[in-house]
Structure 1
């Protein structure tokens, strides 16, 4: 074990003794006796004996009233090749709140036979509200390699402290109704991460008779924000973190969602799905060959110089499948452009850089795109994901009034709501760029984003990474982190996608965190689209892959250029 990680382990052991005042006053019954064998069997006898186990509040680093295992299930081995999973014991756990009116945090924990001594915590997505799959891959993970559970990891994840209410929204990740509870809101904003980590660590120690050797976190979107949150707030808890397409400045992004909601609701401003597709086609035609190859992927996104005026109808045309009206073009440009907040907020954020709609991202991606219906009040479920996100944020986070219209608050001039919005930015914007404590503890960070993301802008991730470099210096930043952009990849590889990123970041992170072997400059990201059969160099930002000759499906036919 490298010296830095040994020191981190000793510090972590000591920090588990630190108690908050709120936790001290909550009495807990003794923990139920559980097996303490070095390798817990996934058989029904051992697995079922975990039911009812208590986790004392004093063993959880933020205030709770303790936790307990509410159910278990013995899951047999399954699958072959990349889909193979070992037999494992699944434990369902409830972490109880301090406020009796707040919901539990519900989490799942997979304890595999042949445990490799490592753990993986998965982040969530959207407004969370459901427990993610414990057998999933890391975001942008390799389609031809086993998932963490398949590799023998103990894996765990949570709903972040609330349960999605289908009566409020049919899409679970778009239910923001929990925001009316202060404790649930704090849990979603980050507190649940510490509570879940500490609970899982306690149960793993009891089940396997020893602490994990190595701990990892992986998440995308909201989960990407959560990945950066654990590195910022609890720098000794994880050895390695994978943060993909992170919505790190969540409240500021919500305000930008509000901006585009207002813009696309203007009379005549919403482009039809066909017109959304037209924008993507025109941009691709203008910029696809900029990397030396016309292959449906814009590699040099920053170098794409597309004139939106070419989308306008001339005097003889009617807006439709071949052109857009002035109002429609203005709305698209507003969504693509950087926006500066005209007032100060507590998090210190100044604005949002816009989505790359005029340089590679598609507006018409199902569910996560701009929708098939203009935003309205009440908000249709066929409106864009971000517009529905704003609607929920206004009703349940800001005003805490189900009846308020999403158009009642102007993100540029919120009036009486400005103070509340500012408070929410302090809670939700995970923007501390000083990652020196994480780096000093031996932590390693892989940051990855698709350059065609239509929901969380990669430009925002560039902004955060540049801040880290300014605080720590480029050399110190590179000593513990890497940041990669994947041309053509969109949000979460949501189909249809020009380039479905398939990258074995976990193996790279393992070698770095456990063996001290930093990622090399010859990494490859494959296209996971069925039948694609192509790969490209994984270029460290700000470089991008340029075609230099040879078979167009092979990564060595490209080189990273700036």
Structure 2
């Protein structure tokens, strides 16, 4: 549970951080005078197609702190200095379906920048619980989120009906429908409160939120002018099953490397491949060029939690299979493994009993997906699956869920024609969602829509070396500092980004800056200059 808290706590605040950072983009041209009416009567709503409005409330909140409630497994938080704002809550349902999705819209009383922003969710939570909402209000946005009528980060009690079958209404809401309906509702709310429409609309999300952003671009291309969708959980039906692969490997091979050994393998790979970009800075600039073999560690002894541990040939075999990624029983590659250099301890976690016997300890998000959605047996233990069972689970997840939650349709022509802009960054050390899946999608879009140049006109991808899932805790590489501001400039001023500004503080507290490269380019050290300064690097074509 402690590791789960660390990973989720690292991922969830990312959206907040991205919103908190001030945007350098200019004010919209027509963000002049507005009225401000925080009353239910001032907000006439037309229900989105196929829905009914069940309730609407509007409450004025004074300037002060916002208390974010504890939502398992994360603790609560206090967000200070939130400006006075109107909190509007709308409940939306589908007649006869028995669902109730809550849409929250927060609107600053003064200083509205004329923009609307929606914020996405994380894990099995469809939306935000207050942190990102408060951050956006502090930056002058009218902001919205939806709970899609489902539960929290890890509660999937909504997934199955009383007959043990998939609750299709709730799954469709979580997958994409509620996000679209929230956009329709929230824009009307802003119009009612301010007496005019928002000049521009943006979506901002990472992980589950990133997947929601892609679903919006694919299914509802007119909802947003700009979509910031980071570390996106696209190919949901594949990657969620794929990320239990480390547990399957350890179970099948009956070998459970300790956290110390997994960390040793990761650190050794980083050390071996560090200089491939010309810079000895503790970061693999282009992990695709790293061919480190963990068999080089066989026989290495290390101190681990007070015990002497020896890295064995069996440990090396497990690490190699995890990096390689899931394969069928015939050897066909099914999906991507974690990037070399990503932390393996979240997905390849295990625990050892008093008798010395080790068993797998799966990361709960993919474990819940496999047990509850795919197997429809919430008590199923994914750590007991072997290679044959894994292959069945993977194929079943694809067959049952790709259409509803895959969020991987490469036809973005509707979004392109609507004038929308899609900006994505993904950490090259993402330990939870394989980075290569995002690259795979981008390349499929290029094939579908006529090549890289045509796609770059509305969709740009940036990879962040050394950055983990949603730029959570423990990054070694610089993470984007104001991707939302960059997207805003692209949408409103036509300034398409060639690089994405990023920074991180190193172990000594010094700020390290980089300019993330537009895919497919990768960073290369110029051969001289401060390794902590972005100007010492250039973006070049990959060498693989």
TM-score category, normalised to shorter length? 0.7 to 0.9
**CA separation of 1:291 and 1:236: change in aligned 2, threshold 3 A:** same
Q: CA deviation at 1:374?
A: 7.5
93, 97, 107: which one aligns with 1:96: 93
**CA separation of 1:208 and 1:485: change in aligned 2, threshold 3 A:** same
Q: CA deviation at 1:426?
A: 1.9
Q: How does 1:149-228 map to 2 (within 5 A)?
A: 149-164=137-152, 173-180=153-160, 181-228=167-214
**CA separation of 1:434 and 1:537: change in aligned 2, threshold 3 A:** same
| TM-score, length of structure 2 as denominator length | 0.79
SS of 1:453's partner is coil
Q: How does 1:535-554 map to 2 (within 5 A)?
A: 535-548=513-526, 549-554=528-533
1:436-469 CA distance string (max 9 Å, x none): 1111111011111111111111111110111111
Contact 1:501 1:528 in 2 (8 A): no
* Count of residues in correspondence between the two structures: 479
Higher strand share: 2
Contact 1:123 1:157 in 2 (8 A): yes
Contact 1:124 1:132 in 2 (8 A): no
Match of 2:494 in 1: 516
SS of 2:116's partner is strand
30, 40, 48: which one aligns with 1:50: 40
Q: How does 1:119-130 map to 2 (within 5 A)?
A: 119-128=116-125
Higher relative contact order, chain-length normalized (CA < 8 Å, sep 6+): 2
Contact 1:258 1:411 in 2 (8 A): no
**CA separation of 1:238 and 1:262: change in aligned 2, threshold 3 A:** same
> Quick one: distance in 1 between partners of 2:276 and 2:308?
26
SS of 1:135's partner is helix
Q: CA deviation at 1:264?
A: 2.5
> Quick one: distance in 2 between partners of 1:54 and 1:381?
57
**CA separation of 1:71 and 1:383: change in aligned 2, threshold 3 A:** farther
| TM-score, length of structure 1 as denominator length | 0.77
Q: CA deviation at 1:51?
A: 8.6
Structure 1 unaligned spans of 5+: 1-36, 138-146, 165-172, 344-348
> Quick one: distance in 2 between partners of 1:318 and 1:524?
39
523, 529, 534: which one aligns with 2:512: 534
1:331-380 CA distance string (max 9 Å, x none): 2222211435679xxxxx98311111xx211123xxx55435389xxxx9
**CA separation of 1:252 and 1:334: change in aligned 2, threshold 3 A:** same
**CA separation of 1:67 and 1:230: change in aligned 2, threshold 3 A:** farther
1:512-549 CA distance string (max 9 Å, x none): 1112222245x431125682311012211222222221
Match of 2:28 in 1: none
1:374-432 CA distance string (max 9 Å, x none): 89xxxx999342xx2233123321233333443469554428x9657512122121111
> Quick one: distance in 1 between partners of 2:329 and 2:179?
32
Contact 1:95 1:106 in 2 (8 A): yes
Structure 2 unaligned spans of 5+: 1-31, 67-78, 161-166
Kindly report the root-mean-square deviation, in angstroms, between the aligned alpha carbons of the 2 structures.
Answer: 3.3
1:148-207 CA distance string (max 9 Å, x none): 43331111112232123xxxxxxxx22222211221111111111111111111211211
Contact 1:232 1:434 in 2 (8 A): yes
Match of 2:220 in 1: 234
> Quick one: distance in 2 between partners of 1:516 and 1:490?
30
Q: CA deviation at 1:97?
A: 3.9
